[in-house]
Structures are given as structure tokens and as C-alpha cells.
Amino acid sequence: MAVVGGHYVQQHSTNMAKHFASASAIASEGLNHVGLVHALSAHNRLESKFRGYLTDARKEGIRKALAAAIQAGMLYFIAFSANALAYWQGSRKIADTVERSDGGSTVGETYTVIFILVDGSIVLSQVAPLLPLFGAAVAAFGRLRKDIDHEPSIDSTSLSGETLPDVKGAIELSNVTFTYPSRPDHLVLQDVSIRCEAGRLTAIVGLSGSGKSTIASLLARFYDPRDGTVSIDGFDIKNLNVKSLRSFISLVPQEPSLLDRSILENIAQGLVNSPSHSHLEQILLSDALSKLAEKIRGGADFTASIKGAGPQVAEIVQLVTKAADLADALSFIEYQHHGLATLVGSSGSLISGGQKQRIALARALVRDPRILILDEATAALDSASEQRIQAAIERASHGRTVISIAHRLSTIRAASQIIVMRAGTIIERGNHDELLAIENGSYAEMIRLQSVKPPANDRSSSRGSVTDIDSRSIGDEKNMPPTEDNLASSHENSEQQPSPNDFERDDGAELTANSITRTMFPLTRPYALLLSLAFFAAIIVGGTFPASGLIFGNTVGSLTPCNPAGFIRSRGLLLSGMFFMLGCVEFIANFTSWSSFGVVSERLIYRVRLLSFRNLFRQPLQWHESSGRSPSKLLAYITNDGNALAGFSGSIIGTLFSVVVNFIIALILSHIVNWRLAVVCLVVVPLLLGAGFMQLRSISRFAEKHAGAFSTSISVTVEAVSNIRTVAALSLEDEILHTYRRSLEGPRREMVLQSLKSNIWLAIANSAGTFIYAFAYWWGSKNILEGRATQTQFFIILFAMLVSAQLWGQLFTLAPEITRAKAAISRIVGLLELDSDHSTPGSGKPIAEFDEDLDEKKDVEASGGIIPRSAPLMENGAQIEFRGVSFSYPARPNIPVLTSLTLSIQPGQFCALVGPSGAGKSTVLALLEGFYEPSSGSVLVNGLDISRHHGTSFRDEIAYVPQENVLFQGNIRFNLTLGARPGHSPSDAELEAACKLANMHDTIMSLPQGYDTECGANGSQLSGGQKQRLSIARALVRKPKLLLLDESTSALDAESEKALEEGLDRAVRGHGVTVIAIAHRLRTIARADVIFLVEGGKVIDQGRHEELLQRSESYNINAVHQMLG
């Protein structure tokens, strides 16, 4: 029965875990891009999808609870039935012995068998509550084992394969055809053949989605081609050792990612798999650099700290500094307060996009690779910075092979070979002059489209592509705002300045029983009837063991040779029948208790997780950026805390209650039967309770002390998996593993020591039954001999107190589950009790009022969600005014980002913000979205100061396209729908119209599943340009009155950009749409109504393109740099 029941419990646990994993993925993506979720007002739509997966997980959880209930009921029924059979057969054997005086069984033999079965029943009662946990653990291990045993087709940790002794760098793709595993029917590359000479620069250009980045992935051997070969120096890379192959290749990806460490550590990661720097491997795999950076941030002298760290560390710092200088990153690094020791934040969120790209480039150059692959390596840089880096790359390119994938053609004019691609095929090849000479050639058309030679009065182009001017005032980069590149994924490190909105209740210290009751009672109130039934059944379960003690005592007292044979048979039949009936009662009561508690548990966990999800996204961006908070830690409210609550609920709650009931009834029964015997047995109870209390206290302190330590290891894992391409490209597998092990070393040592301490108390608690035996037999025999107690009384009390003692031991066996649940409830209640001051203004709602929203059948979108909407603010257009706005990020209150910034934009105007990195341009967009309040001054939209107005409904009329193109897991249709205004479900026609304007409809329709094509985690199934066009289409679905564009065309080729410009122009022209744009490309800035030149947090100049060309030298230099025609 245990095996059969375990099978079903394991099956439903596996299904439940799959559904919950999908729900967790949605929550994780949302928390990683919480700024974008706020900008899109996408809380409700994400919640609806999250709710759907939770509902499926809850259904599987209820099925698991029912399976576990049947399993437990049957196990108890079988055990009690075995006792009944033993009583009956024993009575018959003893009666036969009395009648014939030979054969049969003795009383001692019968008593031994019965007592062994009783002991078995007790052991079974101790094991039964753990069976569902064991089944869930087996299911979890099965999933892990599947991944552990999986043999990857490309194994970067394997030692097999050839190693090239000397790499020249000649690359050849021969008749390569490729499809991604997720879309095997969609050809990405079709019979592509390319030969790149060693030591030369080869450029690959073409339309977005034409397969350019796929070639880079094949060269780094992230994938293998379906047909054809990829070779280096004549060797098929399939036959080369993967780690060795990647050791002489450096890749700068289109969307560079950095790990949450210092700049020094991030750049030094490029040395990890470098053949020429193998002598530094031990230092690179240790925590020496981390300790050095931490020491410098603590105030130690930079030079002295390096000298004290040893010669190898000094060599690494020297290499890192040289690479940073080569990548034009040293200038802004030196202006950081901690220099190379500056933390970059999760995924590089604390630095700007251009700065992140320069660090990624330095990381690639530091190993001095034989082959350098640049995939849009300068897309996030302004023209002047791009010129400097391009010159540096050209200097560093001597003697190495460079593959440059680019849309900005100014970066590849000097290439010895330029490959032009379209739809996975090569359509042109040659050098710059040869391709320009081709009549009506695609490359020549791209050059024409990117040339900045617009008529002064031509306003037909889009308002989506503007410029970022580098005024060569790099000193301003020290005022760099943390979210310059990506408002959507801003997670600042606020170690210096904890947010005033922080709630520090992770250990539950500030939570009272009253606050927990006040929060949890409304959540459990709908299940009052089911809970009453569950508790009633648990009372019956708790009473069955004292009842069985009564039967056991009377059975032993009756089965004596002193009684007649007929009396023994009749009493044996009666008492065995009573025991069988007790077994039936046990089955019904256990099934009712376990199933009722299980159903309530699953529904409660569903509500808690849904409310946790909702409350997390109700909190403003500033709360998410406060001290100690990261997406992985916040996700733990939904995952770890929910799992802890799930492990404690259901069978364990019923078991705890029935144990308490059993103890009370046993005490009362024992004193009624014979108080003299009961009093002596009670001597052991204080020892039992004291040992259990000490165990709980010990485990609780350990859990509180090391919760943060284990969360560090979780963060390391989540970060590595999220940036798996970076980890693979740099061969960081061993480095990540060493970091993970170091994060576990301290907690592991403490855990072993603490386990020894707590298990001492557990042993004392579990051995209490033996002490009760000793006391009971001594005192019982003494009183029986003295005539103060009967044999029947003795065995009733012995059984009742023995079972109580052993069940209390079982109770303390569950101490870890109880401790985890206690801490989880404290954290969850702390989150759910956040008052309106902590939440997004206007979105607060008491817990008691959430019930109606928690019904999975309710359409959150149709009801308008939980945020009340006000009348449209921008119905007649958006007039924007900044009046003397000053601002500093909460993490760096002493560093001004904006200083008395003043600007005015009229309704329907196209405004361009230009200036150096860190000037505060993206901060302007953040303030317009209401993510922060300015330190002083006002941000006015149509006369309303949104920085002082408590409400977020004004975002309904704002559309935002971030620099980092964020897509959520789901299909294209779902991602587009996220852009719609709250409460409105866009039709297919609206979605298609937006995609046509963004020049994306034809691309979508060319995919096998069309609008139902899955985007993958973080849009991994689409190219950078496709993701960018989808982001723009998502914004246009909203039909905004204010359109905010942050580098909206950086990943697009010239042809796609032109088509997109025309579509955007149709979308905004004549509709009174105000456009504020930030970009690096100059092609259409000439058509802007007004250009604001922002520097040092101020507007230092403004005017039209022609005016700035005449009076701004830096503006003029950038324009000339992009005039390729």
C-alpha cells in the first residue's frame, strides 16, 4: 500500500512541480524587470498567467493530498486489522490450550505477537505523516537525476577532443544549414559558405533576423549545424575540445551581460580560460579578487591593497587596467568612487548601457584572443566613443582574426571582406568599395539609408531614431545614474542607504501572534467548514490510540488461562471485532483529516502565493531597489516560503493536532483508570517536552542565522543560469562552481555542528518511550503485587502513555518542518501586511478585501484589476515641463544626477535628448514614468505634478520602449497584449496593425506558428532586432499620447530602421502624440522639433539640428562621423 500510494503521490508531486516551475518563471521574469512591468501596468496580465499555472498546480496538489489521505487511511486500517486478527487468533489459540492443555499458544507468546503489532502500529503512525514529504522528495530527485544524467551533445567540461597547439585563426563555414532546436522547421541558415582569412577583419551585415548572430553562436559552438561544417585552421570544430576551442575565441555579444560583482572581477573573468594566462588560474578561481575589491570598497588604499595581495593579483590588475584602457572604459572607471572595485549590480544594472558594453569589450580583449567576435559590440555607444573604440580595435586586430557583426556601417568600412546576408543566405560579398560599385546593391542601399544628408524641411521620417552626443566631457560620467541603460531591470545596490520603506521581518522578530492571526484569518475564513471537519476528524484520530489502549488492556486481562475457554473465545471475538471497527474508524478519520487539511492547505498556499505575487508588484521601484533586496531573494517569498508552508500544512497539521489530542486524552484516561500508575509515568513528560523545546529552539536559531547565507548560494545559481551564454563563452563553469562551493562552506560547517546539537535533543525525545517502559513495568508490577492495580489497568495505562510518548517523539521529528514554516509565515505576513505607504499609490487594499480577487474564475483584466483608474490626463496630448528638477538616486544620495534641470515640450512635439553617458537622459524618462520623486522641483504633465500626485493611472497613456528589449516567457501574442491599456483586451486586428507599423508583421507570419510562436525565456527564441521591433509594436498597441523611446532602433539594420521610422511616423502623425527619444543614431535627429543637449544633469543647449550644427562642435563631429555616403 505504501508503494502504490507513494507512486501516485510522486506522480502528482511531479506534475505539481512542473506547473509551479512555469508560475515561478513568470514571477522571476517580472521581478527581474519590475520597472518595465510598472511602465506597462502589466501586473494584472502577468498575474492572470501566474494564476493559471498556480491553479493547475493546486489541482495536482489536491490530487496528491487525496492520494496521501487514502494511503494513510489504508495503512492505519491494515495495521489495526492486523491487530484485530492477532487478538482473534490469539484468543482461539489460548482457548484451545485451556481445553486440551496442550498445543495452541501460551499467553506470553500471544502477548508478544500482539505487542509487536502494537509497536508496528505506533511506528507506522510516526512514519505516515512523512510519506507525502518522502514522495515529493523522490519526485524532486527524479527531476534532478534526469538533469544530472543528461549527456550534453556539446560538453564544455569534457576532456575529450583535439587541442590545437598553435591557432592561426582561419575560419571556414562550408555549406552550413541550421535550425534552432525549438523551431526545427524554420531554417535560420541555408547552405551558407564563408571563408575568413587568418589575421583579417571580416564583417557580416544584413537585415535583422538574417542569421548573423547565429554564425557567432556556431563559431563559439553553442550549437552544431544541421548540415555542413564549421572549421578553424582546417579542423572541424566538432572534433576539437570545447573548452580548448573557446580558449582562443572571445565573443562580445549583442546584449552583453555582467555578473553581480566588481568591475575588476568581471573583466578578469576573460582570463579564466586563457592559455597564455594559465599560471593565474588558481587566483582567478579563488576569492582573492573578491576580497581585494571588498577591501578597497571598505576604504583601504588601492595601491597598498594590490601590493599586499601578491604578485599574481597585481599582474591581473595590470592586465585588467590595460584591457579597460583599450576598450575606452578606464576613463569612466577612474571616476567611480571605488574605481575597479565598483560593483556593477545584477546583470550590470548599476551602470549604463554604453559602460556595460565597454566592460564586456575589455573582458574580451584581456585574454588577447586569436579570434575576436564582435556582435554589435558598439551598438550602445555614441559616435565619438565608437570612433575611439574602433580605433583601439583596429590597433588590437593586428595578428588576430576579427569577425564583426554590425548594423552601423561606419564601423566596418576597413574590413577586408564584407558579407551581406538576407533570410539566412549570402546575397553579396566583397570589400567596401567593391560592394558600393554594385548597381542597386543591398550594401550600397544600406549606406545610402545611414547617410545623414536630410533636407532641412523634410519631416516625413519617424520620430524613433535620434542621437546621443558625446561632448567629450567624460568627467560627467561620475554622475552616472544606476539605471541609465535599462529602466526595466533597475535593481540598485543600496548598501549605503537602506530605504525608509524597508521592512525587516525576515526572522519574524517584530511579528506578534496577533498580527499573524489578523493576516492569516481572512485567508482561511472561506474554509471554516472544511477546517472544522478536518479538526473533528483529527480529534477522532487522536482518540483512537487511547481507545485501542482500553481494548488492549482488556484483551490482555481477558486472555488468561484462569478463564473458561468459551469466555476467552467470546471475549477475543468481541475485542478483535472492536479493534477492527476501530481500524475502520481510523481509515475514515485519517482520510477525512488528511484530505480536508490537504485541500485547505493547497488552497491556502494558492492564496498566499497569489497575494505575495500581487503585493510584490504593488511595491514601487524604489522599494525593490532597497537594501538587501534582489529578484532572487524576493522570488523566495513565492517559492521557498510557499514550499515551507506547503511542507508544514496538510498531513503535518493534522498530525500535530491529533498528537496533542491523544496526549490530553491519554492523561485523562490514565488518571481515571488508576492515578497511582499514571503519576509515575508522568515523571518522564517534562524530560520529553524539554528535549523537544530545546531541539526546536536550536533548529530555529540555526535557520534564522543562516537563511541569508544560503540565499547567497541561490543567487549565485540563479545568476549563472540566467547568464548561461556568458558562462559558456568564457568557460566560467569551474569558477562558478568554486564560488558556489565557497558560499556553502560556512553554512555547511555550522549545519553539521547544529545537526549534532539538535539530534542530541531528538534522541532524548525519542528515547523517552523506553524510560516510560522502565518506570511503568517497575511501578506497575509493584502495584499489581500490592493489590493497588489490576493487570488490565496496568496495560491500559502502559499502552496509552507509551503511544503518547512515542507520538511526542514523532512531533519533534517534524521540528525542521515546523521551524521552516514558522519563519516562512513570519516573512509572508510581513509582506502581506505592508501598508499603503509601502505600495504603489492608489493600489493598496486590505487583506480582508482580497477574497473576491482570489477566485481563479474571476477575470482580473475585465474588472480593471486592483488599481482604480482615473479620467484620462492626456486626452488632448501631453505637454511636458520640468521646472528646476534636481534628483539623486536613493542608493547614492550624495551624487546629483539632475541639477535644476528645466525643459518644456509642447503637445505633439518630437523631442530628442542627447548627451554623454551618465548625463541623466534616462533619469528624465524614469521621472516621467513616476518611478521616483525628484529631490526638488516639479515634473508636470498637462499642469499636473505627477511627482506629487498619488496615483499611477497617468501611465495608461504612456508607452515606453526600453533600451534592453525585454520579452516575457509566452507567445508573441501574449507579449504584445502586455502593452495594451489596463482593462482593454486588444483584438488580433489591433495587434497586427501595431506589428505592421513596427515592420514586424511579415516576419511573424513567416514563422511556422505565427503570432502563437513562443518567445522563450527573455525572448531567447528571437534575434535582437526582432525583439526590438516587438518591443516597439507592444508600445504602439497602447496608442499612447506620450511615447518614450530609449535607444529604440539600436539593434536594427538600416532597411528595417527606415521601414520602422515610416511606421512610427504614421502612428504618431496627426494624433497629437508627444515623442521623447534617446538614441545614438543621427539619421533622423535632423527632423526633431527640438533637441535638448543634456550634460552634467542640466540642459546646456537646445534647438533644431541646423542650429546645433552651427554652434556645437561635438554635435557637428558626431554628425560628420555618420555621413557615409
Q: How far apart are CA 867 and CA 1110, in angstroms?
A: 49
Lowest mean pLDDT among 352-361, 433-442, 671-680, 851-860: 851-860
Torsion of CA 7, 9, 10, 15, to 10 degrees: 130
Q: How many CB atoms lie within 10 A of CB 148?
A: 8
Q: How many CB atoms lie within 10 A of CB 706?
A: 17
Q: How far apart are CA 541 and CA 661, in angstroms?
A: 9
Lowest mean pLDDT among 77-91, 186-200, 738-752: 738-752
Dihedral pair phi/psi, residue 6, rounded to 5°:
-60, -35
What does the pLDDT read at residue 468?
Answer: 38
What does the pLDDT read at residue 841?
Answer: 36
Q: How far apart are CA 106 and CA 103, in angstroms?
A: 9
What does the pLDDT read at residue 1124?
Answer: 46
What does the pLDDT read at residue 475?
Answer: 36
Residue that wins the pLDDT comparison between 892 and 484: 892
Indicate the DSSP class of residue 376. S
525 has pLDDT over 50: yes
pLDDT in tens, 187-230: 889 999 999 988 888 999 888 778 888 999 999 999 999 999 99
Lowest mean pLDDT among 94-108, 390-404, 1033-1047: 94-108
What does the pLDDT read at residue 868?
Answer: 47
Q: How many CB atoms lie within 10 A of CB 997?
A: 24
Residues of the chain with pLDDT > 70, as a percent, come to 77
What does the pLDDT read at residue 863?
Answer: 45
Q: How far apart are CA 1094 and CA 953, in angstroms?
A: 29
What does the pLDDT read at residue 129?
Answer: 65
Residue that wins the pLDDT comparison between 368 and 761: 368
Q: How confident is the model at residue 101 (pLDDT cuts 50, 70, 90)?
A: low
Residues of the chain with pLDDT > 90, as a percent, come to 9
pLDDT average, residue stretch 734-751: 80
What does the pLDDT read at residue 2?
Answer: 55
What does the pLDDT read at residue 584?
Answer: 92
Indicate the DSSP class of residue 1012. G
pLDDT average, residue stretch 298-311: 87
pLDDT average, residue stretch 236-245: 91
Q: How confident is the model at residue 321 (pLDDT cuts 50, 70, 90)?
A: very high
What does the pLDDT read at residue 456?
Answer: 42
Lowest mean pLDDT among 235-244, 425-434, 1048-1057: 1048-1057
pLDDT in tens, 945-982: 887 776 778 888 889 888 778 888 888 999 999 989 88
Handedness of CA 87, 90, 92, 94 (dihedral sign): negative
736 has pLDDT over 80: yes
CATH of 2-146+543-556+564-625+634-833, one of 1.20.1560.10, 3.40.50.800, 3.60.20.10, 1.10.10.10: 1.20.1560.10
Show the cell assigned to 707: 537563511
Residue that wins the pLDDT comparison between 160 and 1047: 160
What does the pLDDT read at residue 744?
Answer: 79
Q: How confident is the model at residue 320 (pLDDT cuts 50, 70, 90)?
A: very high
Q: Which of 296-300, 750-754, 822-826, 974-978 has the highest mean pLDDT?
A: 974-978
Q: How far apart are CA 258 and CA 485, in angstroms?
A: 13
Residue that wins the pLDDT comparison between 788 and 523: 788
What does the pLDDT read at residue 810?
Answer: 63
pLDDT average, residue stretch 249-260: 85
Domain-wise residue ranges, the chain: 2-146+543-556+564-625+634-833, 257-303+321-352
pLDDT average, residue stretch 1073-1084: 75
Residue that wins the pLDDT comparison between 449 and 492: 449
What does the pLDDT read at residue 102?
Answer: 61
Lowest mean pLDDT among 66-70, 465-469, 861-865: 465-469
749 has pLDDT over 60: yes
What does the pLDDT read at residue 480?
Answer: 40
Q: Give the up-direction half-sphere exposure of residue 87: CA atoms within 13 A in the CB hemisphere.
A: 27
Per DSSP, the residues of 56-67 read: HHHHHHHHHHHH
pLDDT average, residue stretch 1006-1025: 82
Lowest mean pLDDT among 99-103, 180-184, 298-302, 1022-1026: 99-103
What does the pLDDT read at residue 533?
Answer: 92
Q: How confident is the model at residue 490 (pLDDT cuts 50, 70, 90)?
A: very low
What does the pLDDT read at residue 667?
Answer: 85
pLDDT average, residue stretch 372-397: 71
What does the pLDDT read at residue 836?
Answer: 45
What does the pLDDT read at residue 482?
Answer: 40
Sequence-distant (≥ 6) Cβ neighbours of residue 777 within 8 angstroms = 798
Lowest mean pLDDT among 109-123, 659-673, 871-885: 109-123
Lowest mean pLDDT among 136-150, 273-287, 576-590: 136-150
Q: Which of 497-506, 766-775, 839-848 has the highest mean pLDDT?
A: 766-775
Q: Specify the pTM.
A: 0.72
Q: Which of 6-15, 101-110, 306-315, 1023-1032 has the highest mean pLDDT?
A: 306-315
What does the pLDDT read at residue 264?
Answer: 92
Dihedral pair phi/psi, residue 1045, rounded to 5°:
-120, 115
> Cα–Cα–Cα angle for 546, 550, 554, nearest 5°?
160
pLDDT average, residue stretch 547-557: 81
| Residues 483/922, Cβ–Cβ less than 8 Å | yes
Q: Cell 566596418, residue? A: 412
Name the nearest CA neighbour of 277 among 265, 290, 268: 268
Residue that wins the pLDDT comparison between 117 and 609: 609
Strands 1098-1103, 201-206: parallel, antiparallel or unpaired by DSSP? unpaired
3-class state of residue 230 by DSSP: strand
Lowest mean pLDDT among 103-112, 450-459, 541-550, 1104-1113: 450-459
Mean pLDDT of the chain: 78
| Amino acid identity at 535 | F
